[in-house]
Amino acid sequence: MKYDDMSWHSGGDFPADLPPEAGATHTGMFVAWCLLNGLGGELHTEEFPDTLEKLRERKLTPGGFLIEACDGKFTDEDLGSEGNAFTEAYFDFSTGEYLADYEGCLGAPGGSLYAVPDTWDNFDKLAPVISNRFESWKKHGSA
């Protein structure tokens, strides 16, 4: 199952002044959090551990990791079973709270979530929010 694809974001309301890579930041932040918190699937932990190590060492930004290691796509193969269950509850753009948390934590510079810089500083601001949602989901079954 494909949860997101940066190519889905480059048309329509995507800001003309931003590069297409800006469409990977919001998802890259979530994927990076999952992988750095032990929710990764065999695709990353077994088949491509070198790229995962670049993420751990912060040699790649979260969005950069999504582009390099996932070809800009976030699928169920990126995560293990617990990660996928959490993703279905929290990341889903229609029913989950992730985008609201992302905007609430990082804002929408210039009115666009795509304008949030793909930095480790922003990841460090967002990570505790995702962690709290994950802990709530584990305890109560909802993010």
The mean pLDDT value for 5-33 works out to: 86
Q: Note the pLDDT tens digit of each residue in 62-115.
A: 999 999 999 999 999 999 999 999 999 999 989 999 999 999 999 887 778 889
pTM score: 0.93
In a domain, 118, yes or no: yes
Q: Note the pLDDT tens digit of each residue in 109-130.
A: 777 888 999 999 999 999 999 9
- In the prediction, which pLDDT does 6 show? 87
- In the prediction, which pLDDT does 111 show? 78
In a domain, 128, yes or no: yes
In a domain, 15, yes or no: no
Give me the number of domains the chain comprises.
1
What is the span of the domain harbouring residue 99?
Answer: 2-9+20-140
For 140, residues 6+ apart whose C-beta sits below 8 A from its C-beta are none
Q: Which residues of 35-46 are buried (b: 16+ CB within 10 A; e: fewer)?
A: bbeebbbebbee
In a domain, 14, yes or no: no
Give the bridge partners for 75, in sequence order: 2
72: left (phi over 0), alpha (psi -120 to 50) or beta: left
